[in-house]
């Protein structure tokens, strides 16, 4: 063997890649949802009165007539509490437009 033949080096193995450590996934504590606010007028829909209404007393008007916002009943002019309940019922139903007669 001559020197030229021994000068050929065998390829050295490639250096191994460093393994990256996996990031540990942190389990986040689930934030409890805010408690749902109970509806002031349960069961109130666009077509049906609240489940708290009876034949003798409406939950919105507080009297013996219906104060449902979609049924066209008006409150007496001086009854502020009934007017506030009517506005609350409108908000619950999602009626954004408040009629001029209620303002």
State the average pLDDT over residues 59-83: 83
By CB atoms closer than 10 A (0-12, 13-18, 19+), residue 67 is buried
Question: Does the residue 59 lie in any domain?
Answer: yes
> What Rg, from alpha-carbon coordinates, does the chain have?
37
Output the CA angle 44-48-54, nearest 5 degrees: 85
Evaluate whether residue 49 is within a structural domain. yes
- How many domains does the chain divide into? 1
Q: Is residue 65 part of a domain?
A: yes
pLDDT for 4 equals: 56
Q: Hey, what are 82's tokens?
A: 């009934």
- Residue linked to tokens 């080096």: 9
pTM above 0.85, yes or no: no
- Percent of the chain at pLDDT > 70 equals 66
* CA gap 54, 13 in Å, rounded: 89
In a domain, residue 50? The reply is yes
pLDDT at 36: 58
7-28 pLDDT, tens digit per residue, is: 566 777 777 777 777 777 776 6
- 73 within some domain: yes
Look at residue 90 in the predicted model and tell me its pLDDT.
Answer: 87
Q: What is the pLDDT of residue 20?
A: 76
Q: Which two tokens stand for residue 93?
A: 């139903």
Domain housing 62: 42-96
Residue 88 lies in a domain: yes
Asked, for residue 26, whether it belongs to a domain, the answer is: no
Q: Report the pLDDT averaged over residues 60-88.
A: 84
Band (3; pLDDT cuts 50, 70, 90): low
100 has a pLDDT exceeding 60: no
Q: Is the pLDDT at 74 greater than 60, yes or no?
A: yes
């Amino acid at each position: 063997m001559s020197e030229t033949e021994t000068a050929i080096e065998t390829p050295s193995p490639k250096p191994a890649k460093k393994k990256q450590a996996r990031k540990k996934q942190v389990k986040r504590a689930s934030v409890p949802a805010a408690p749902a606010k109970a509806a002031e007028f349960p069961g109130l829909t666009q077509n049906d009165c609240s489940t708290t209404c009876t034949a003798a007393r409406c939950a919105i008007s507080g009297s013996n007539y219906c104060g449902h916002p979609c049924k066209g009943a008006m409150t007496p002019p001086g009854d502020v509490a009934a007017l506030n309940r009517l506005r609350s019922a409108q908000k619950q139903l999602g009626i954004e437009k408040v009629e001029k007669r209620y303002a």
